[in-house]
Amino acid sequence: MKGRVIVLDTWGERQAAALVVDGVLQDLAIDPADDAPLPGAIYRGTVDRPVKGQGGVFVRLPGGQSGFLRQVSGLAPGQSVLVQIAGSSEPGKAIPVTTRLLFKSRYVILTPGAPGLNVSRRIRDEDLRADLEALARAGMEDAPHDLGLILRSACEGADEAAIAEDILATRDLAQAVLTDGEGDPELLVEGPSAHEHAWREWVDPLPDEVAHGRFADHGLDEMLDTLRSPRVALPGGAHMYIEPTRAMVAVDINTGPDTSPAASLKANVAAARDLPRQLRLRGLGGQIVVDFAPMPKKDRATLDQVLRAAFKGEAAETSLAGWTALGLYELVRKRDRMALLDLLEGRA
């Protein structure tokens, strides 16, 4: 399967989508079961009790659900507050939420409380940037002064009328939500479904093909079976194991049958390059500890560069903490989605 292909399917009765580039699975989206909140959904919630020692408060959401909000300045118990689902939580824990709302669409992102009109830096054509800035000014002319707008890189090559329509529709939605902050807990904006997420996040650059049909017809069932296993094959017979525990995600790299002097560095570099994709597809985040294959300390600088380059384009916030005294490597990745095994087994 050559080129950039988006496959839209269902998993049971839930929407599912996959992004495959040159035959390699790059991203995956499956709706959770049992109407679990989707990341990006916006709620009107009610501030509940504070959590001493953790710098946050619980927020009551509809349906008896509970969110955890770290920004607590100026909030009091019983107060209504607009929050957005910021990621996924482990079973039995409150859902992470934020008051920093973002209204995303295919072409624009609206940023309440962060005013300004901006065009994606990936769009370099100066004439096009000027045209887009003019569209932004026209579309936001009568919007509240504290409502910011970012034109996404997908605007490059898009029809101006479609961009203008998207600006107005997203602006109207944002204004409607921002003026609806009082009342009982309620879902105000649903998070994007798997198919919506694919159309919004994976179309830049434009796909060579959008396939509607069964995952099995495109080899995706086999790719998903591979992701069910903690073992990840690497070039030259090397491999790594990615195993989530209650406290963290443990990653172990092994050189396999290669006994050459450069075997460890080669295996470690291959693992570092593939680690962001593996964590993304498996839906793993939080604290991650990597036990790289033994190598001289002088090679750590090379591996540091590879890791920084590998994680540079990741959508999920990732902090590369570095090496520990025991020679392990630590990083923290935001839990931006449910774990893949939970999604496949229908656990919300």
Chain segment 9-40, per-residue pLDDT in tens: 999 889 999 999 999 999 999 999 877 788 99
3-state secondary structure of 219: coil
CA-based nearest residue to 9, from 29, 25, 24 = 29
CA-based nearest residue to 167, from 198, 128, 203, 136 = 136
Helix (H) or strand (E) holding 60: strand 56-60
3-state secondary structure of 298: helix
Predicted confidence at residue 239, as pLDDT, reads: 97
What confidence tens digit (pLDDT) does each residue in 137-155 have?
A: 999 999 998 999 999 999 9
Predicted confidence at residue 33, as pLDDT, reads: 83
The CA distance from 170 to 66, in Å, is 27
Predicted confidence at residue 348, as pLDDT, reads: 52
What confidence tens digit (pLDDT) does each residue in 312-326 have?
A: 989 999 999 999 999
3-state secondary structure of 174: helix
What CA–CA distances, in Å, run from 278 to 90, 168, 232, 241, 275? 19, 37, 9, 11, 5
pLDDT band for position 214 (cuts 50, 70, 90): confident
Q: With 0-12 CB in 10 A as exposed, 13-18 as middle and 19+ as buried, what is 138?
A: exposed
The CA distance from 277 to 310, in Å, is 9
Domains of the chain with bracketed CATH: 4-35+203-218 (no CATH), 42-98 (2.40.50.140), 103-191 (3.30.230), 229-344 (3.40.630)
